[in-house]
Amino acid sequence: MKIRTLAAGLLVGALTLTACGKEGSPTDTGGAGGNNAAALPTYTVAQNVTVAGSPTFDRIKAAGKLTIGVKDDQPGLGLKNPTTGKFEGFDVEIAKMVAAGLGFDESKITFTTVDSAAREAAITNGNVDYYVGTYTITDKRKTQVSFAGPYFMAGQDLLVRADDKSITGPETLKGKKVCSVTGSTPIQRVRDQQLTEPQNIVEFQKYSQCVEKLGTKEVDAVTTDDAILKGFAAQEPDTLKVVGKTFSQEPYGIGLNHDDAALRAKIDDLLQAAIDNGTWQKIYDATLGKSGSSAQPPTIQRY
Partner 1 sequence: MDVLLDNLDLYGPFFWTTIKLFLISGVASLIFGTFLAGLRVSPVPVFRAVGATYVTLLRNTPLTLIFVFLVFAYPLLDILELSYFTAAVVSLTLYTSAFICEVVRSGINTVPVGQAEAARALGLTFTQILGQIVLPQAIRSVVPPLMSMLIALLKNTTIAAGFSVAEAGAIRQYLSERGDNQLIGLLWVALGFIILVAVLSLIQRALEKRWSVAR
> Using CB under 8 A as the criterion, which residues of the chain lie in contact with partner 1 when the complex forms?
116-121, 138-141, 143-144, 181-185, 188, 199, 202-205, 209, 212, 216, 218
Distances (CA, A) of 28 to 18, 55, 86, 294: 14, 43, 22, 17
Cβ closer to partner 1: 100 or 122?
A: 122
Residue 248 DSSP symbol: S
Q: How far is the CB of 140 from partner 1 (least distance, A)?
A: 3
Cβ closer to partner 1: 147 or 280?
A: 147
Cβ closer to partner 1: 22 or 206?
A: 206
239 contacts 164 by C-beta, under 8 angstroms: no
Q: How far is the CB of 281 from partner 1 (least distance, A)?
A: 30
Q: How far is the CB of 56 from partner 1 (least distance, A)?
A: 21
116 contacts 61 by C-beta, under 8 angstroms: no
Cβ closer to partner 1: 142 or 302?
A: 142
Q: How far is the CB of 203 from partner 1 (least distance, A)?
A: 5
Q: Which residues contact 269 (CB under 8 A, 6 or more apart)?
A: none
Please, how many CA atoms are within 13 Å of residue 206, restricted to the half-sphere of its CB? 12
Cβ closer to partner 1: 107 or 199?
A: 199
The end-to-end CA distance of the chain, in Å, is 43
Distance of alpha carbon 201 from alpha carbon 208, whole angstroms: 16
Q: How far is the CB of 280 from partner 1 (least distance, A)?
A: 27
